[in-house]
Amino acid sequence: MQLALQNLVPVPLRDKILQRSSDIWNTDVLLQQGQRIKVKAPSGTGKTTLIHILYRLRDDYKGAVLWDNKDERAYDATAMAVLRQQQVSVVFQDLRLFTNLTARENIELNRVLTPTPLYDASVIDAMAERLGITHILQQRAGLCSYGEQQRIAIVRALVQPFNWLLMDEPFSHLDANNTRKAAALIAEECEKRKAGFVLTDLDEDAHFDYNVFYNL
């Protein structure tokens, strides 16, 4: 699945954006299936805004986002649900877990999104073990540390089908060792699906073998 951005400009950021050059805003960008993409930008320059526009949580922007040549604004609620169910997964910067559900329940919700789940429930245990969160699977997500919650959100994103994985500063609360483990799992899961990802972060990193770097 191809992702095209056409002269994208978030309305609240328009004045700031038009004053500087950007590899993403107000230009044409074509992201090809399977590409590993890093978007780097300082605080407050629009990383979260970009991820939210791609996932269509907001539409206060000029320009267009095209998934396989179809403008996401043309998707009705059902088509958008199918896109999020089968084609696009996400790790939000603020995670957006259900804090009153356990870690396992949060992950399980995504695993059973599709009528025929991609993975068996045992995959949750296997992924949790790799990321060192087995001991908190039965704990309410809201009681977990932010780093634990970040790993729950990563596993949740990985148990569903996707062609694209959107990740907004996904390792911000993980130490180097846990970041390495999480990045390895993400890379494997993308490789299995021949999926691409868009990862935003503040700085340069060597977590992945990126294909394309953009400055926001």
Q: Which residues in this chain contact ligand ATP in the complex, by CB under 6 A?
A: 12-13, 41, 43-49, 93, 202
- Nearer to ligand ATP by Cβ, of 46 and 196: the residue is 46
CB of 199 to ligand ATP, least distance (A): 13
C-alpha closest to that of 5 among 54, 75, 78, 57:
54
CB of 51 to ligand ATP, least distance (A): 8
Residue 49 or residue 178: which is nearer to ligand ATP going by CB? 49
Whole-number Å distance between alpha carbons of 166 and 95:
12
C-beta of 44: minimal distance to ligand ATP in Å?
4
* Helices of type H across 113-204: 122-131, 146-158, 176-193
3-state secondary structure of 103: helix
Minimum CB distance to ligand ATP smaller for 73 or for 135: 73
46 and 10 Cβ atoms separated by less than 8 Å: yes
Nearer to ligand ATP, 107 or 166 (CB): 166
Beta bridge partners of 28: 6
CA separation for the pair 141, 82 (Å, rounded): 26
Shortest Å distance, C-beta 195 to ligand ATP: 23
